[in-house]
């Protein structure tokens, strides 16, 4: 009790699971420091022990596991936006969630160059895992400086290091938590922009890939049992936000983000009919797809989904573009093993050159 009075940011019995509930974290102690000084104090107190920082635990991999000391930096979440020529640079507290960052940036007329499919990760977690999605580059590509707390090799004491060039910066851009505790990230941002999107359907992958030239931000979904592709054509647009943009968002939320998954859950958990699942994919899913409805909206709304609304396990595969035509049929024994599980499983098939992604949900 006395200890707790001195270290209110320490919690003793922590047992947490990640988003996919496929990893259990049982650290010996857990902290949520409120500032950099507290981070240094914690490091000094636990010299020689294994220490791991975590974000919002949206990783499915072992990158979040550690049985030693855990540090959650959610209270370090300030955002400072500064103009830099035609662009902007933001200094962001490690524990700031991407959605909060986007809101703050938007207030200053800015946004991130690249986004993942969701916006609930922390900036430190996202850059530590090379999170990517829209556009060719990952979010890490735009990181210019990382402020880290780590141990001085000669004294063994904790100190703050700023990494802004060379191999160290490259390492910090995808360090999986192993370079030190990230305190803040300086990331290049751009002026806010609009994105136009519309859907089409095609049976030929060649057509899908050809469309990428006109729609560099597009992504596509391979629909099992229908064996066709739903293409979400997307490109930057100088036009204003569409009058119906808000309605389109509601449509997405209701039909795609929630409706589609609820439908699958109902079939899998209630009806339990493989035949109905196949029929739904073959015939029903496409009924809800409004084709060629062109809508322009703010990039930070258009490029993300509520993909985190339903717990699932996801595997991402990078495929060289020239191999992509071999298609999901040529894919993974591993994924067929997962199909037997009672979680939603999403397999994202990414062309290494184009960052186009195809999703297949079971
Ligand atoms: C529904 C869903 C959709 C997703 N979509 C995408 C996508 O479109 N594209 C994509 O690339 N990824 C995607 N991901 C993966 C996700 O972006 C990454 O797993 C990301 O790391 C999660 O961030 P987090 O804040 O939850 O970090 P965590 O999962 O908590 O941590 C990830 C790593 O970062 C390290 N870390 C966290 N904070 C710090 C810190 N302060 N200092 C040092 N190291 C730290 C941890 O030690 C760990 O190694 C998705 C995940 C989910 C659940």
Indicate which CATH number applies to the domain containing 34. 3.30.43.10
In 3D, which of 146, 112, 59, 100 has the Cα closest to residue 303? Answer: 112
- 155 and 201 fall within a common domain: no
**What integer pLDDT is reported at residue 4 of this predicted model?**
52
**What integer pLDDT is reported at residue 321 of this predicted model?**
82
Q: Is the dihedral of CA 272, 275, 277, 280 positive or negative?
A: negative
- 35 and 96 fall within a common domain: no
Tokens of 299: 């990039």
Which residue, 49, 72, 95, sits at the end of a domain?
72
* Atom 5, ligand 1: residue with shortest CA distance: 117
Which of 59, 64, 181 should be mutated for ligand 1, with most atoms under 8 A from CB? 59
- 34 and 104 fall within a common domain: no
Neighbours of 342 (CB within 10 A): 8
Which residue, 56, 72, 88, sits at the end of a domain?
72
Q: Full-prediction pTM beyond 0.75?
A: yes
In 3D, which of 343, 352, 350 has the Cα closest to residue 361? Answer: 343
- 244 and 231 fall within a common domain: yes
- 185 and 199 fall within a common domain: no
Which residue, 139, 172, 191, sits at the end of a domain?
191
**What integer pLDDT is reported at residue 159 of this predicted model?**
98
**What integer pLDDT is reported at residue 319 of this predicted model?**
84
- 209 and 170 fall within a common domain: no
Which of 122, 125, 137, 309 should be mutated for ligand 1, with most atoms under 8 A from CB? 125
CATH number for position 164: 3.30.465.10
- 185 and 297 fall within a common domain: no
Is residue 319 within 8 A of residue 349, CB to CB? The reply is: yes
- 227 and 150 fall within a common domain: no
Distance in Å, CA 176 to ligand 1 centroid: 9
- Using a 10 angstrom Cβ sphere, with 0-12 exposed, 13-18 middle and 19 or more buried, the burial of residue 255 is middle
* Atom 32, ligand 1: residue with shortest CA distance: 125
**What integer pLDDT is reported at residue 326 of this predicted model?**
67
- 169 and 251 fall within a common domain: no
Is residue 47 within 8 A of residue 7, CB to CB? The reply is: no
Which of 73, 131, 138 should be mutated for ligand 1, with most atoms under 8 A from CB? 131
Domain enclosing residue 23, as ranges:
2-72
How far is 312 from 254, CA to CA, in rounded Å? 19
- 144 and 198 fall within a common domain: no
Distance in Å, CA 323 to ligand 1 centroid: 28
- 349 and 225 fall within a common domain: yes
Distance in Å, CA 58 to ligand 1 centroid: 5
- 152 phi and psi angles, rounded to 5 deg: -75, 125
Is residue 328 within 8 A of residue 362, CB to CB? The reply is: no
**What integer pLDDT is reported at residue 213 of this predicted model?**
94
| Atom number in ligand 1 closest to CA 117 | 8
- 258 and 145 fall within a common domain: no
Count of domains in the chain? 3
Neighbours of 156 (CB within 10 A): 10
In 3D, which of 233, 245, 221, 229 has the Cα closest to residue 300? Answer: 245
* pLDDT mean by block of 10 residues, the chain; 362 residues: 55 80 94 98 96 97 92 98 96 98 98 96 97 91 98 97 97 96 98 97 94 94 94 97 97 92 90 91 93 96 93 86 67 40 43 37 28
| Atom number in ligand 1 closest to CA 56 | 26
């Amino acid at each position: 009790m006395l200890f707790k009075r001195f270290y209110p940011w320490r919690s003793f019995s922590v047992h947490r699971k990640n988003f996919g509930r496929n990893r259990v974290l049982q650290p010996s102690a857990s902290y949520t420091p409120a500032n950099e000084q507290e981070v240094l104090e914690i490091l000094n107190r636990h010299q020689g022990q294994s220490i791991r920082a975590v974000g919002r635990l949206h990783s499915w991999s072992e990158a979040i596991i550690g049985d030693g000391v855990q540090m959650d930096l959610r209270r370090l979440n300030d955002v400072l936006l500064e103009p830099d020529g035609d662009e902007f640079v933001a200094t962001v507290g490690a524990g700031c969630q991407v959605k909060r960052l986007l809101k703050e940036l938007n207030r200053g007329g800015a946004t991130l160059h690249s986004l993942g499919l969701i916006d609930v990760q922390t900036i430190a977690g996202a850059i530590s895992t090379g999170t990517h999605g829209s556009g060719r580059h990952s979010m890490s590509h735009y990181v210019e400086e990382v402020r880290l707390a780590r141990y001085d090799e000669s004294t063994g004491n904790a100190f703050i290091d700023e990494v802004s060039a060379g191999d160290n910066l490259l390492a910090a851009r995808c360090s999986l938590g192993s370079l030190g505790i990230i305190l803040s990230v300086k990331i290049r941002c751009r002026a806010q922009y609009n994105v136009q999107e519309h859907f089409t359907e095609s049976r030929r992958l060649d057509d899908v890939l050809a469309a990428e030239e006109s729609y560099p931000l597009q992504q596509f979904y391979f629909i099992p049992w229908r064996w066709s592709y739903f293409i979400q054509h997307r490109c930057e647009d100088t036009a204003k936000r569409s009058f119906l943009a808000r309605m389109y968002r509601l449509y997405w939320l209701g039909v795609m983000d929630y409706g589609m998954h609820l439908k699958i859950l109902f079939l899998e958990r209630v009806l339990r009919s493989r035949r109905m699942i196949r029929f739904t994919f073959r015939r029903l899913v496409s009924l809800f797809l409004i084709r060629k409805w062109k809508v322009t909206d703010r990039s930070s709304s258009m490029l993300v989904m509520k993909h985190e609304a339903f717990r699932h396990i996801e595997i991402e595969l990078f495929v060289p573009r020239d191999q992509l035509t071999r298609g999901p049929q040529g894919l993974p024994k591993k994924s067929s093993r997962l199909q037997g599980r009672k979680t939603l499983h999403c397999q994202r098939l990414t062309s290494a050159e184009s960052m186009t992604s195809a999703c297949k949900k079971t």
